[in-house]
Amino acid sequence: MILNRNFTLLAFAIAAPFITATNAFTLPTSTFVSPFRHNVQAVLDDCGLPKNCSTRKRLNALNAEKKSDSGLAPGVSKNLLTETIAPFRGLRLFLYAAFASGAFVGGLITATGVAAALSGVRSDVDLNAEYVNLAIDFGAVALFGVLAKIDLDKGEELKKSVEDKIENKKKQKKIVKGMREREQRLSKLELDVRVTEDGETKRASVGIMQEKAKQHIILVAGPGRVIRDALRGAQLNKVNFAMTNILVVPYETGLDEAERASKPSGSGFADRPSYERQPYVAEPVGEGWDEFIAEEINTAVEQAGEKAKDEGIALVIANDGKVLRRGLGKVPWRQMVDELEEAVTGEKKETAIPFLEFME
């Protein structure tokens, strides 16, 4: 019977790897939290402790520290999410422990029989068969131990992955919040807008241009090479800009205040290349632009890496102040114009192609 029992254990050992692929549901009991676990206030009320009691105050403070934003203790929501992704790990570990325990107990019983035979107490023991049984028993123990170790390691990897995703989500929320704050600040930044063919300009805030003149804005920021390529491409679409009330705002990075001030303006307007003298090109002036662009580029670097500094960024801003798109790399002007038309009219153009994004 012992031999048959051990062969049964061996069958369990052979079947164990397949358990890892089963789809049996198990409740995440290790992380289950009673809805009454954190209700310290109700317990204190039932106990009749005065509200100004120091013990009540300490317990309330401890309870507040243990709660997370969702009402669960720190780490509980993470464990619940982990067990939701892999709901069978608890069952597998239980089976590993049960089978290993059975094999270990069987091995101890077999070992006592072998010891009795070797000491001469029993003469009816087939030592060769018992040695096989010992190998099967303790081999099963080792096998289930290895399987449990592998499963636990996978669980730690999954937990680490869940932690990373939660942190990334928190980081993403922080980034989005910063973007929304910058959108509010953008309306207060100032532009020099050309109003005559000889280069005469008038200064107005972005918000005024959007609200009063109903101008959409495409902001391009990056090194000089990126700005030149973008403005040359924009020159080919100037008719579309005029028809859709679009202002192009180029901002060259890497310039200090002296270099930026030395650019020809006013009487030196004719010294600029033709693509910079177009009526749809507005020049960013005044305070706040440096900080705004630096924060936008830093956000792009967080999303797409250091290449964002070399490739430049582009923002498509509707006349209601909403940033429709943030992207980097070569500026697809036609697609940007189509997106603005779609935002205004609500009609999707068939020629519109999604713009390379670093942020949805």
225-269 residue pLDDT tens: 999 998 988 888 776 666 678 889 999 998 766 666 566 554 444
Selected residue with higher pLDDT from 197 and 95: 95
Alpha carbon distance 359, 296 (integer Å): 11
Residue 7: what pLDDT?
46
Residue 158: what pLDDT?
86
pLDDT band at 213 (very low <50, low <70, confident <90, very high): confident
Most confident of 42-51, 252-261, 280-289, 323-332: 280-289
pTM equals 0.57
Quick check: 9 pLDDT over 60?
Answer: no
Selected residue with higher pLDDT from 65 and 112: 112
pLDDT band at 357 (very low <50, low <70, confident <90, very high): very low
CB under 8 A, 24+ apart: contacts of 259-268? 265/192, 265/199, 265/201, 266/199, 266/201
Cα distance between the two ends of the chain: 66
Alpha carbon distance 47, 21 (integer Å): 50
Phi and psi at residue 213, to the nearest 5°: -95, -5
Alpha carbon distance 206, 16 (integer Å): 67
Name the residue among 324, 291, 274 with its Cα closest to residue 221.
291
Alpha carbon distance 284, 26 (integer Å): 61
Three-state SS for 343? Answer: helix
Residue 360: what pLDDT?
35
Residue 171: what pLDDT?
83
Residue 267: what pLDDT?
43
Task: Tell me which of 48-57, 137-146, 206-215, 327-336 is least confident.
Answer: 48-57
Most confident of 19-23, 196-200, 205-209: 205-209
Quick check: 44 pLDDT over 90?
Answer: no
pLDDT band at 221 (very low <50, low <70, confident <90, very high): very high
pLDDT band at 54 (very low <50, low <70, confident <90, very high): low
Quick check: 32 pLDDT over 90?
Answer: no
Most confident of 38-47, 71-80, 293-302: 293-302
Quick check: 41 pLDDT over 90?
Answer: no
What is the per-residue pLDDT across 17-30, written as a single tens digit (0 to 9) for each? 444 444 333 333 33
Selected residue with higher pLDDT from 42 and 332: 332
Rounded to the nearest 10 degrees, how much is the dihedral formed by the CA atoms of 82, 88, 93, 99?
Answer: 180
Three-state SS for 256? Answer: coil
Mean pLDDT of the chain: 75
Residue 242: what pLDDT?
63
Alpha carbon distance 213, 208 (integer Å): 7
Selected residue with higher pLDDT from 237 and 112: 112
Selected residue with higher pLDDT from 172 and 13: 172
Residue 33: what pLDDT?
37
Quick check: 11 pLDDT over 80?
Answer: no
Alpha carbon distance 128, 295 (integer Å): 77
Exposure on the CB side of residue 204, measured as CA atoms within 13 A: 17
Residue 162: what pLDDT?
83
